Amino acid sequence: MVTFQENSANQIVTKLPDGDKKASWLQTIRAILNPVDTLEETQQRYGDIYTAKFASFPTQVVISNPQAIQELFTADAQLFDSGAGNYVVQPLVGANSLILLDGDRHLQQRKLLMPPFHGERMRAYGHTIGDITEQVTSQWSIGKPFVARSSMQEISLQVILKTVFGLKEGERYQQIKQVLIEMLDTFNTPISAIFLFFQSLQRDLGAWSPWGRFIRRRQQLDELIYQEIRERRQQTENTSEDILSLLLSARDENGQPMTDVELRDELMTMLFAGHETTAIALSWALYWVHYVPEVREKLLQELNSIDIAHADPTAITQLPYLNAVCSETLRITPIGFFSFPRILKAPMQFMGYNLPKGMMISVCIYLAHHRPDIYPEPKKFRPERFLERQFSAYEFMPFGGGNRRCLGMAFALFEMKLVLANILSHYSLELLDKTYLKPVRRGIVFAPPGGVRLMVKEKY
């Protein structure tokens, strides 16, 4: 699909292949309502590097081959504005979110936020994750169907509220939980997600209008978060190990603490990015493990080799087949179909093409993860592929890459493995959705349709 033309000096000039020429609003709606088929058909027609036009975004180059991804992820970050390309999430997280920052400010904020998500501090949360999982799943009844995403959402939300906010059970804890779930459910269908992508629809037409309802719930949540921040600032002695306490004590290189607004936006980022995504990943994992019975049997054999109830959480997370199951889940059904885009601050030569200033470059994670040359039989759930070879950061990238890779990656995988191990070692489950499920849009992420229906069986 590359076209060639000769310039006056008889030099060969390559022109970037055009993608779909339909109107940008039409391409956007199709991508929102039917994401998998749209991406796969477009790649078949135009290859693994092509231009696309979506409403509210600059013209973008969509890439899904490892060489192009490596060239992008290893390029000097100063060449791009990355935060500006993520403005679609601003109504959810706020302008001071790490996701929307660029340059030195992005680098400084990333340094402030990184420590709680790694090492000993992260491992200290292991027992909390196990306790919450047992508490939520104890409400399941034998023979009674339940929706995996609802239970996983309850687990991941409690984990966030206790490890990030340090909240104990109480009135504010319940209020934050309720309002956040209501906010997330504002965009729980592909049709309602359209409001995030078309700014012209983001109008407050009263409490009963979709955007008006969202705005009012966001205000409620803001009030609760600011109350918590104010109270915590007034505490003279704080020995808590939760992430909010660590952020309150953090100082930048000039000795300045984070402002209330900065704290609020980063907490909102963690609530959305760390809660919804993990819940969906766990729902997919439970679906795939029970959709392919031999995977479940193999995983149970590994889990039965150690005493899950008394094992050190770190030992559980190092189990090789459990790790392979989680990796294959994030490969075949990535929660985000695209990594954070990069917008060129100046003209750039990229993969032999001359790209103009203002062009956006987007990595399609879904297409990269479904390349048959890297992942034979890509539609097949086969964890063994992660035991047979090591994939590069340009072939497997469920958390994005380069300087914009998700900060909570280690924490998300840690939680995912512990919750999955805990559930499978305590319960025998039956999958009630025995069909091949294709991802559907839920806000800016991609979830299993129906949330995955399961039922607890008698253990023999």
| pLDDT recorded at residue 138 | 95
Beta bridge partners of 342: 361
Q: Does residue 2 register a pLDDT over 50?
A: no
- Give the best-scoring range by mean pLDDT among 25-34, 161-170, 224-233: 224-233
Q: How far apart (Å, rounded) are the C-alpha atoms in residues 407 and 394?
A: 17
Q: What is the CATH number of the domain that holds 337?
A: 1.10.630.10
Residues 93 and 268 sit within 8 Å (Cβ to Cβ): yes
| pLDDT recorded at residue 105 | 84
Q: Which residues contact 289 (CB under 8 A, 6 or more apart)?
A: 295, 296, 299, 325, 420, 424
Percent of all residues in the chain with a pLDDT value above 90, rounded to a whole number: 47
Q: How far apart (Å, rounded) are the C-alpha atoms in residues 152 and 416?
A: 10
Residue 119 tokens, joined:
């090492």
H helix runs in 141-209, sequence order: 148-163, 171-185, 190-197
- Give the best-scoring range by mean pLDDT among 5-9, 55-59, 96-100: 96-100
| pLDDT recorded at residue 86 | 81
Task: Name the one residue in this structure whose structure tokens are 């047992």.
Answer: 134
Q: How far apart (Å, rounded) are the C-alpha atoms in residues 42 and 159?
A: 39
Which comes out higher in pLDDT, residue 222 or 5?
A: 222
| pLDDT recorded at residue 10 | 35
Containing 363, the helix (H) or strand (E) segment is: strand 360-363
Q: Which residues contact 189 (CB under 8 A, 6 or more apart)?
A: 442
**Domain of 316, in residue numbers:** 3-457
| pLDDT recorded at residue 238 | 64
Which comes out higher in pLDDT, residue 25 or 370?
A: 370
Question: Average pLDDT in the 11-25 region?
Answer: 60
Radius of gyration of the chain (CA): 23
| pLDDT recorded at residue 4 | 29
Q: How far apart (Å, rounded) are the C-alpha atoms in residues 452 and 15?
A: 45
Q: Does residue 197 register a pLDDT over 90?
A: no
Q: Does residue 36 register a pLDDT over 60?
A: yes
pLDDT digits (tens, 9 = 90+) for 235-252: 766 667 788 888 888 887
Which comes out higher in pLDDT, residue 377 or 51?
A: 377
pLDDT digits (tens, 9 = 90+) for 75-100: 998 899 888 778 788 888 888 888 88
Q: Does residue 412 register a pLDDT over 80?
A: yes
What's the predicted TM-score (pTM) here? 0.90
Beta bridge partners of 142: 456
Residues 248 and 263 sit within 8 Å (Cβ to Cβ): yes
pLDDT digits (tens, 9 = 90+) for 138-185: 999 999 999 999 999 999 999 988 888 888 788 888 898 888 888 877
| pLDDT recorded at residue 273 | 79
Q: How far apart (Å, rounded) are the C-alpha atoms in residues 9 and 112?
A: 52
Containing 28, the helix (H) or strand (E) segment is: helix 24-33
Indicate the pLDDT class of residue 14, thresholds 50, 70 and 90: low
Indicate the pLDDT class of residue 194, thresholds 50, 70 and 90: confident
Q: How far apart (Å, rounded) are the C-alpha atoms in residues 256 and 50?
A: 44
Residue type for position 356:
P
pLDDT digits (tens, 9 = 90+) for 333-365: 999 999 988 999 999 999 989 899 999 999 999
Question: Average pLDDT in the 64-75 region?
Answer: 95
Task: Say how many domains are in the chain.
Answer: 1
